[in-house]
Chains A and B, each alone.
Chain A
Amino acid sequence: MINAVLLNNDDMVATMTSAVYLGNDITFIMYGKTMVIKAISNVPIYHKVAVRAIEKGEAILKYGEKIGYATADIKEGEHVHTQNLSSRL
C-alpha cells in the first residue's frame, strides 16, 4: 500500500502519509512505477524519508527544489530531519 509521496521524480526524500517503524515497507510512486524500500528508522507521519543514499554535503531536493544540505551521510530508508538536514552546511 502506498504510504509515502514523492513530490518530484528528482527528489531524494518522500513524505510519509502514515507513520512507519524500523523494518516496515515504504511504498511510493516514482516515474509512474511503484517503488518499495525498507524503513531503517522510525519515521513519523508527514516526516521525510530518504528514497536513496545521500552523501554529507549534498543538496537535498523536495518539490524538485533544494531545501537544504545533508549534514551527515544518510542511508536509503532513513528519517531525514533536523539531525541530518540543515539550511547551512
Chain B
Amino acid sequence: MKFNGYKRSDGHVGIRNHVVVLPGVICSSSVAKKIADKVEDARYLYNPNGCAQNAKDTSMTLEILSGLIANGNVYGALIVGLGCETIQKNIYIEAIQKKTNKPVVYISIQEEGGIQKTVEKGIKIVTALMEEASKCERVECDLSDIILGMECGGSDPTSGLSANTVLGNTSDRLVGLGGTAVLSETPEAIGAEGILEKRGRTPEIGKKLYDIVIKCEQSYLDSGDDIRNTNPSPGNKASGITTLEEKSIGCIHKSGTKPFDGVYEYGQMIDQKGLMFMDTTAYDVASVVAKIAGGAQIIAFTTGVGTPVGNAIAPVIKITGNHTTFTRLNDMLDFDTSESITGVKTITELGEELLDYIVDVCNGERVKAEEHEISDMAINQLSSYC
C-alpha cells in the first residue's frame, strides 16, 4: 500500500515537513517560543528539561529530544540554548548526529547577546530553514515505512470493547503490510503480563515483556505505593472500569493478534519492522512523545471519555468507541468506532476503514489536534530536579 510522504537523506520517511524550534533548556523556552511565533508554520517544541537533572535523566532527555528532531516528520531544527546549562551545544549536536544528518542549527542567548538579538537571529535561521523545507516534495512511499504509535487515554469500557479492538485490527493490517506498530504504557499492561508473555515472537521476547511489566509494578511497591490503588483513574472508574487488570486487558487489545517482534526502552529509536512494545509510562503525553522520539510518524490514540492531546511534529488521531463522547467532544475526535457496538459494522470493517483514514492522514489530511494546534510535551524522569 502506498502513500505520498517525504524521503529524508538519513533514510527516514516523514508524513509532515516541519521546521522545529526547540529550547535547549527551560530557561530559554520563552525566547525560543518568540522565534517560533514569528515564523509562520514553524513548530515550537517545548522542552521542560536540559539542566539540573541527574545523569540518567539527562540522558533520557537527550534521547527524547534528539529522537524527536530525527523523526521523519522534521525537516530541520533550531535549538535555542541559554549557554550555561548541562546539555551543551556539542552534546546536543553529537546526540542528534548519531541519529540523523538533517540541518540543525544551535544558538544561545548568552552568546548572542540577549533576548532581542537571539530572537532576530533565530527568526532569520528559521525562515531560511522553512524556505529550504518548502522545496521538499511528497513522493510515493510504501506503508511499510510507517511506524504507528498506539496510545490510549481517558479510557472507558468502550475502549476495550470497541476502539482498542478496532485499532488492534488496524495494527494487524499494518504489520501484515510490512509496517510497524508500537504498543506501550507498561503500567497499563499490569495484569496482562501473562498474555503478553505468550505473544513474544520468541520465548526471549515473551520473557522480556513479562519481566518489564513485573518490574514496573514492583517499582511502585518498592516505593511504598500500590499502583492498583491509583490506576484506574477516577474518570476511568466513573465510566465503569473497575480494576487495573480490566483496564490493561482492554488496553493491550490495541496490539491486535500478531506476535511481538521487539521490546524497546523509553524513547529508543525503533530500528526494525513489525509489532513492537516500548517501555513507557502511563502518563499519556510522556508516552506519546517517547514513541515519536522512537520514530513514530503518527499516533493512533483511543479514548472513551475524550482527550485533546496533540504533538508538535506528529498527527495524533483520536479514536473512540463512545458515540456520545464522539458527538459531545467532536472538535477533538477524529474516528468513531461505536458502530461495532451497535452491530452496524464489524470490527474488521472498521479496522479497514481506520487504516484507510491513517493513509489519508499520512498523505497530509490534518487531524483535529493539528487543526487546533494542540502541542503537548512531557519527558519521563526518574528523580526530581537536582
Hey, which bits of chain A sit against chain B, CB under 8 A? 2, 5, 7, 15, 17, 44-48, 62-63, 65-68, 80-82, 85-88
**Contact sample, A vs B, 13 pairs, CB 8 Å cutoff:** A15-B240, A44-B240, A45-B240, A48-B157, A48-B240, A65-B195, A67-B249, A68-B243, A81-B240, A85-B242, A85-B243, A86-B242, A87-B191
- Which of A44, A62, A88 is within 8 Å of B246, CB to CB? A62
Q: Which residues of A contact B156 (CB under 8 A)?
A: 46
Q: Does B250 contact A (CB under 8 A)?
A: yes
In Å, the complex CA distance between A7 and B160 comes to: 10
A69: nearest chain-B partner, CB-CB: B243
| In contact, A46 and B157 (Cβ under 8 angstroms) | yes
Q: Which residues of A contact B246 (CB under 8 A)?
A: 62, 67-68
B192: nearest chain-A partner, CB-CB: A65
Q: Which residues of B contact A87 (CB under 8 A)?
A: 191, 228, 243-245
Q: Which residues of B contact A65 (CB under 8 A)?
A: 192, 195, 245, 249
| In contact, B245 and A17 (Cβ under 8 angstroms) | no
Task: Tell me how many residues of B have a C-beta within 8 Å of chain A.
Answer: 24
Q: Which of B206-225 contact A (CB under 8 A)?
A: none
Q: Which residues of A contact B158 (CB under 8 A)?
A: 46
Q: Which residues of A contact B322 (CB under 8 A)?
A: 46
In Å, the complex CA distance between A7 and B249 comes to: 12
Q: Which residues of B contact A85 (CB under 8 A)?
A: 242-243
In Å, the complex CA distance between A86 and B237 comes to: 12
In Å, the complex CA distance between A16 and B262 comes to: 36
Contacts A48-B240, A68-B242: A63 and B249 contacting too (C-beta < 8 A)? yes
In Å, the complex CA distance between A17 and B322 comes to: 10
In Å, the complex CA distance between A66 and B192 comes to: 9
Hey, which bits of chain B sit against chain A, CB under 8 A? 156-158, 160-161, 191-192, 195, 228, 237, 239-240, 242-246, 249-250, 304, 322, 341-343
B237: nearest chain-A partner, CB-CB: A82
In Å, the complex CA distance between A68 and B232 comes to: 13
Q: Which residues of B contact A44 (CB under 8 A)?
A: 240
Contacts A63-B160, A67-B191: A81 and B249 contacting too (C-beta < 8 A)? no
In Å, the complex CA distance between A42 and B228 comes to: 26
Q: Which residues of B contact A86 (CB under 8 A)?
A: 242-243
Contacts A15-B161, A47-B240, A63-B160: A88 and B245 contacting too (C-beta < 8 A)? no
- Among B160, B228, B245, B322, chain A packs the most CB atoms within 10 A around the CB of B245
Q: Which residues of A contact B160 (CB under 8 A)?
A: 63
Given contacts A46-B240, A66-B191, 14 further A-B pairs with CB under 8 A are A5-B161, A45-B240, A46-B158, A46-B322, A47-B240, A62-B249, A63-B249, A65-B245, A67-B243, A68-B246, A85-B243, A87-B228, A87-B243, A87-B244
Q: Which residues of A contact B343 (CB under 8 A)?
A: 2
The 7 closest A-B pairs by CB, nearest first: A47-B240, A67-B246, A46-B157, A68-B243, A87-B228, A46-B240, A67-B245
Min CB–CB distance A83 → chain B (angstroms): 9
Q: Which residues of A contact B161 (CB under 8 A)?
A: 5, 7, 15, 46
In Å, the complex CA distance between A80 and B249 comes to: 17
In Å, the complex CA distance between A48 and B161 comes to: 12
